[in-house]
Amino acid sequence: MAGVSSCMKYSMFFFNFLFWLCGSVILGVSIWIRVSKDAQQELEIDSSVFAGVDLLIAVGSIIMILGFLGCCGAIKESQCMLLLFFIGLLLILILQVTGGILGAVYRSQIETSLKKNLQESVNSLQSSTEESKVFQEKLQKFQTMNQCCGLLNGPSDWGKNIRNSIICECELKSSADLCTYYDGRYVYKNPCGDVIIEYLKDHLLIIMGIAFGLAVIEILGLGFSMSLYCQIRRK
């Protein structure tokens, strides 16, 4: 009977240990951000991004479980653990590919949906409620950093609130590309919505590259785990 390849066995253990370690770091940092008020204040995180933090907790947990199954399955030569590892990794790969296909197919709809959400946020710029003021303060910081104004239509998105001398104030008055004369003073003329959309487009290739790299690693993991599973079965 053929034996189990020690090289494959310990290689799989090592890489799954790193996999488990990465999951532990993601899970630990995510939980720390979720429960620590100091961390939330330092990173300027509010309840609006808790859904993303919760998603990271779920991702970290799944990576830890898969890493544990891969490590134990390899070192103990457990067919059951290796099979569970294979199934779990295969499901993740299928979801990843499905998400990529849906993202490509509905890309234009995603952009339309983003613009719709920005349009809803425009109303907050013209409001005077306390909740709206919090949103306005955050947008003002974003405007200063990215030299933009408003969300979709430029300075007019602010309505009467544009008369506040702080909002959209453009220091480079001589720059026709950045500034425009509006309501008695120079302000940034480019909408911040365009900046957000361009940012997403520019980083789409990076996201696709990361997803492709992860897919290659996942396929290698599937191959190694099934190969080791078959070796153990023939042993």
H or E element at residue 167: none
Segments in 1-78 forming alpha helices (H): 6-35, 37-42, 50-75
Strand partners of residue 62: none
So what's the pLDDT on residue 124? 81
So what's the pLDDT on residue 144? 85
All residues at 6 or more sequence positions from 229 whose CB lies less than 8 Å from its CB, including other chains: 79, 82, 83, 86
Segments in the chain forming alpha helices (H): 6-35, 37-42, 50-75, 79-105, 107-125, 130-146, 192-234
So what's the pLDDT on residue 94? 87
Listed as ranges, residues in the chain with pLDDT below 50 are 1
Tell me if the pTM is above 0.85: no
So what's the pLDDT on residue 1? 42
Q: Are 158 and 128 in contact (CB under 8 A)?
A: no
- For the record, the structure tokens of 208 come out as 């696709």
